[in-house]
Structure 1
């Protein structure tokens, strides 16, 4: 906008002010510059947007720019005015707000997946597209819980207590007995008199088992020795 005064010199000087029936307009807007001379471009700037809220029902603001000059007595006289209507457009200037800063819920451990846990939603003071809210979950355990993209709320998606069992298993390694017994001092050479009485001891033999002391060694005499016998286990 341009304000012009066809006078010359100091006679072309004027001051500019805003006027409105709504006192808030003087806080919301200001005119620049506040004085001019001759042909002067003028702009209206936002001074303070407090309460300048479309969502509170404010759709427009009306004001007038007043041009005044100083008369011979030094008094300011209004010589021109121009009405201005400022339309207020909506913007996405409000964040969604929940009723509580945090929520706490208790659910049974056998609650079925897909069940509704609680109604949780937010409100947005913005209108139209700016007032639409999209919900999502973040944080630990979100794999077991879900929400509705448009309506919010909290749902159980998966079983909360994992069902499992456990048992202790012990394995003991036993001896397989795959080693042959070994005689000590083998071969044995023994001489006896021909008149040795029956049941007389002839020689003591002993074998050991490499598989360990728990494996018992049994003894027997091979064929062709019918006149002799042996204890089948070591007793010493």
Structure 2
């Protein structure tokens, strides 16, 4: 039996892409396979709708043609909260963690949402929720301009997703930590991405006992380099 290639190898080329409508099941099945009970169980139609709105993202190892990460910006399931959007679905293959790819993805998602998508309105709030005990996305959210807003109880129907398996026995809500995006930092995020493209040349390096791993990340399909104006 042929061995499958490593998830990320030295000199691999990584793309961050908007997920097309015809591809919406790719991130859906990726999250379904890897969800460890820390993410909302969003239905397939939520991914389809996000893809139609150009708010669904995936990270592809172009060298191996394997998806390694996902992200979604989803409208609130509450009709009264049309000016709120949930930033979530942040899932990376375990072997693709520790490179800073999640932080980079969230920065790209937020700059795209506010500066590129033509769907943003000045009064729209971008929220994120992290379940108690899930520390993995915290650094990525904080580095991408989200600030904590304290404990939040998420009820059924607050978002178009199944949360029952996250509810502890005898309770009716999921206890989470809430975050809101600070629009004042958007200029800093643009500068950070500009430096990544123009000074780092899109290269991420991680030292490893078995040898350094260098990858090149391209997100020009989401944000053209010429749009990173500082």
**TM-score > 0.5 by shorter chain:** no
Q: Which has the higher contact order (CA 8 A, sep 6+)?
A: 2
* Structure with bigger gyration radius: 1
If each structure's helix is expressed as a fraction of its own residues, which one has the higher value? 2
TM-score bucket of the superposed structures, by smaller chain = under 0.3
